[in-house]
Amino acid sequence: MRRRLILVGIAAAAGAILIWVAAAWAGRRGQNHYSGTIETREIQVGSKVGGRVTEVGVEEGQFVKAGATLVRFECDELQAQRTQASALLDQAQASLDRMQRGNRPEEVEQAEATSHAMQAAYESAQTLAPTVLAGANMFYAFIVNIAVAAVLTLVFGALKANAGTDLTTAADYA
């Protein structure tokens, strides 16, 4: 019986070792372990804004954490843009204030004076319009008379050359 007990103990120990080896082998089946060194030669790093670099915060090969400052840029151009935007904001605020307050009495007086001057110019143009129109009609009639006289002169000259007579006026043809 003792022998049987020893054999059962050995069989149980062998079974336990066999189960342990099988479990270890099954666990490693999905994993690959390699040894070696991985090196990177070059990493492309970009910036959302461009400009002149004033400070480099890390050195080559140094480990950095996410969010660490790598490079600082000169920000003169951005400050100029900010100043310009601030000036535009101030100008817009001044325009808003002026609109909310209304016009100053001096501005109202100036607008009324301009309005009166424009009204006077309009009335003057209305009174002069008939005179200018009459002058234009007289000028038109004068130009028409000159053109008719020039045409008649040409016609009489042609008739004189063809007829060989001594016609000098249009009355001779009547």
DSSP-assigned states of every residue in 26-69: HHHTT-----------------SS---EEEE-S-TT----TT--
Higher pLDDT, 134 or 25: 134
Task: Please state the rounded mean pLDDT for residues 143-152.
Answer: 86
Confidence band for 73, pLDDT divided at 50, 70 and 90 = confident
Single-letter amino acid, residue 134:
A
**Quick one: what percent of the chain has pLDDT higher than 70?**
86
Task: Please state the rounded mean pLDDT for residues 144-168.
Answer: 75
- Answer yes or no: is pLDDT of 25 > 80: no
- Answer yes or no: is pLDDT of 167 > 80: no
pLDDT for the residue 6: 85
Least confident span in 23-37, 70-84, 96-110, 158-172: 158-172
Q: Give the CA angle between residues 96, 102, 108 to the nearest 5°.
A: 130
φ, ψ dihedrals at 72, nearest 5°: -115, 140
- Answer yes or no: is pLDDT of 31 > 70: no
pLDDT for the residue 86: 94
- Answer yes or no: is pLDDT of 174 > 70: no
Task: Please state the rounded mean pLDDT for residues 1-30.
Answer: 80
- pTM of the predicted model as reported, rounded to 2 decimal places: 0.31
